Structure 1
Amino acid sequence: MKLHDVSWPSEAALKGGLLPWLETLPGASWLTLPGRDPNRHRVIVTLLHGNEPSGTNAFWHFVENTPECAVTTHFCLANVNAAKTNTPFTTRHLDGKPDMNRCFGRQGEDDSYEIADEILARITSLAPEAVVDLHNTSGTSPAFAVSIRDDDTHKQIASLFTKNMLCSDVRLGALMEMTSETSPIVTIECGGAGDRAAHDVAKKGLNDFMTAENLFQGHTGFWPIEMLYRPVRIQMQHDSALCYHDQKIDDADLTLAPDIDRHNFGRMAADTHIGWLGGRGLDALKTDDGKGGHPIASLFYEKDGELKLKAASKLFMITTRHDIALSDCLFYMVVD
């Protein structure tokens, strides 16, 4: 077994603090809090990416201030080994290992796939009434939810945390893609990994998620949901060079401003300057919308070496981390 059942932290562990306790974990860990109704379950997954701390920060808050849960509530801390490598909460996944949130419903020889399978098997066996998977964006961003369904059930879960929800056709092997009628799964992007407000989003949302008697009717204080549909994933071609700078870098295929994440969830007008292209032009970029549409030339154009928007759009999950931009994506976008 790669998923370890771990006891709720003791009083001594609480006094020692989160990071020393995290060091004691044997790997991917599952913890359970009893609730008033022991026959109903809810699941909180976090740390699928080791550099996204808000969910774990919120977990430790509830270790210190344990609420009375309405139902039996389970926490899964997934990529613990990445989280405690080097400077804590800076490593997305270990070198040579896949992104764990690309391993659900997929086959591979690395033990990350085994962990994903065991997490999914545990969720299936419990048949929880709701699952939230907490993440952070690598750039500064407001909170938003992501789902592959836009029905009321998924919206009501999202509304505990945020007013923004994306409904995506992109399939990457993420946990949220394993959602079902009986156990809906929603991803919550709490905000930027370095934003204190993101920790507050996680704590407030999880408190409501854990204590509400009924998540799907009559819960108070939730956000009205604004839906965005069919986000397009913008990526670099695998052999392209990327640079972040406030002016064009000649040997880069794409240069983006160091503070480009300031545009997260802001509406950008047609013809807005996004960055600078190199000699390969638009061929340095590619898209994925889950359905084979939206070629690069339908979204952007080049003028005097500048990369510009063809139509008004919203960009989100913009990263300023070079490694994540190359291994995952530059950003997502929805055309107005």
Structure 2
Amino acid sequence: MTLSINEYFELPDGFLEATPATLHQCVPGPALIHLEGQREPAVAVVLLLHGNEPVGLHAVQQLLRHYTGRPLPRALTLVVGNPQAAALNQRHLDDQPDFNRIWPGTEQGGSREADVFAELCRRLEGRGLFAAIDLHNNTGRNPHYACINRLEAPFLNLAALFGRTVVYFTRPRGVASMALARIAPAVTVECGHPEDAAGVDHAREMIDAVLHLDHFAQEPPRTGAIEIFHTVAQVRVRPGLQVGLDAQHDVRLEPDLDGLNFQLLPAGSRLVNVHADAQDPLIAIAEDGSEVTGEYLERAGQEIRLKRQAMPSMLTLDTRVIAQDCLCYLMEPLTL
């Protein structure tokens, strides 16, 4: 299939009624949908970069129904990511890269998909943006939280509109919010499990709040208004090893593993159990790309434990997501 950007200047027929499974019938691939509002430049809202994370579509549909028959407070550009994967409720198709790892700045360049998102960014930069919001769900149990990759006041204030919990990260590379941060304040918002209706409401409320803004304050949020955590490592399962809930797997997950998300765990806390034959089953990668497994993880018999205090995020029991992305991220509190 030839991949290109579909660009619309009004809402495509059927968009408001579409489900994630049927959206590809009216928006067949990556798309820009430009909608007029009372002020310019537009707020960009990125949705369905991962096809199994429908919160963006549902939140935007709710928002647009709310404004039926009246103008949007500010222009809105919808960036539709991967409706083909959404049709099958998959993060991405087997022959596709991860659509939230191939934006400008990626370490996975050279693909037709990366070229498409580079062109998409050029078009957005040419039009200008007021802000950018990339909407996601989690497969594991996590609170709602916002992620930024710059600690400047407009980014902090944008994140604070979503809630108190803010994660600062500079890796993985090639994500939408990092690429769009070159144009305007940008944020990734994580809205809980795909079936969490409260996540849809929360996302819609945030988009609406940003559409009503005139400007971003140049002073950071007041002390105590937000809690910031810095992502210090991504933890992956070594390629070739099998992950699951049963003892025969190389890496065995406890059924309540994702209950550790956003808990500040002391050194010595167990993450996973491993088969006796599994050698170096987990790998920790720092934000500069270096391997830091020995700094954060240690083996004690058939357990992998934290070597130092850390807070996990995005722990999941979804083995497909673990294989396509990672087991979790490790974070530490950050004081500005």
TM-score over 0.5 for the alignment? yes
Matched with 1:165 is: 166
Deviations 1:79-138 (A, max 9, x none): 1111113xxxx2111111111111112464543223312321122112212111111112
Whether the 8 Å contact between 2:236 and 2:284 is mirrored in structure 1 is yes
Q: Give 1:33 shift.
A: 2.2
Over aligned residues, Cα RMSD in angstroms?
A: 2.6
Aligned residue runs from structure 1 range 188-207, under 5 A: 188-207=189-208
Amino acid at match of 1:23: Q
Matched with 2:153 is: 152
Amino acid at match of 2:35: L
**Partner-residue secondary structure (3-state), 1:156:** helix
Q: Give 1:179 shift.
A: 4.2
Amino acid at match of 1:178: A
Matched with 2:84 is: 81
Instruction: Classify 1:109/1:313 alpha carbon distance in 2 versus 1 (closer, same or farther; 3 Å).
Output: closer
**Which of 279, 287, 292 is matched with 1:290 structurally?**
287
Distance 2:139 2:15 in 1: 29
Structure 1 stretches lacking a partner, 5+ long? none
Whether the 8 Å contact between 1:139 and 1:193 is mirrored in structure 2 is no
Distance 2:214 2:73 in 1: 5
Amino acid at match of 1:99: D
Distance 1:64 1:171 in 2: 34
Matched with 1:4 is: 6
**Which stretch shifts more, 192-201 or 321-330?**
192-201
Q: Give 1:153 shift.
A: 1.1
Deviations 1:210-240 (A, max 9, x none): 222334379x9xx922111243100011122
Does 2:265 correspond to 1:268? Answer: yes
Distance 1:111 1:181 in 2: 22
Query: Larger helix proportion, structure 1 or 2?
Result: 1
Matched with 1:70 is: 73
Does 2:233 correspond to 1:232? Answer: yes
**Which stretch shifts more, 149-158 or 170-179?**
170-179
Deviations 1:42-90 (A, max 9, x none): 21111111111111110111232127433211111111111113xxxx2
Matched with 2:102 is: 103
**Which of 24, 27, 41 is matched with 2:26 structurally?**
24
Q: Give 1:277 shift.
A: 1.5
Deviations 1:176-211 (A, max 9, x none): 222446522221112222322221221111111222
Q: Give 1:294 shift.
A: 6.2
Matched with 2:136 is: 135
Distance 1:71 1:301 in 2: 51
Whether the 8 Å contact between 1:282 and 1:297 is mirrored in structure 2 is no
Matched with 1:94 is: 93
Distance 2:121 2:112 in 1: 14
Amino acid at match of 2:6: H
Instruction: Classify 1:141/1:314 alpha carbon distance in 2 versus 1 (closer, same or farther; 3 Å).
Output: same
Distance 2:183 2:95 in 1: 35
Q: Give 1:32 shift.
A: 2.2
Distance 2:242 2:302 in 1: 15
Distance 2:180 2:201 in 1: 26
Amino acid at match of 1:84: A
Deviations 1:249-284 (A, max 9, x none): 1x4221111331122112223222222122355611
Whether the 8 Å contact between 1:265 and 1:314 is mirrored in structure 2 is yes
Distance 2:23 2:295 in 1: 50
Aligned residue runs from structure 1 range 109-120, under 5 A: 110-120=111-121
Aligned-residue sequence identity (percent) comes to: 24
Whether the 8 Å contact between 2:100 and 2:174 is mirrored in structure 1 is yes
Does 2:251 correspond to 1:254? Answer: yes
**Partner-residue secondary structure (3-state), 1:70:** coil
Distance 2:296 2:204 in 1: 37
Instruction: Classify 1:13/1:191 alpha carbon distance in 2 versus 1 (closer, same or farther; 3 Å).
Output: closer
Matched with 1:33 is: 35
Distance 1:95 1:187 in 2: 24
Matched with 2:186 is: 185
**Partner-residue secondary structure (3-state), 1:74:** strand
Matched with 2:303 is: 306
Amino acid at match of 1:320: L
Distance 1:137 1:265 in 2: 13
**Which of 276, 279, 290 is matched with 1:279 structurally?**
276
**Partner-residue secondary structure (3-state), 2:280:** helix
Distance 1:239 1:160 in 2: 41
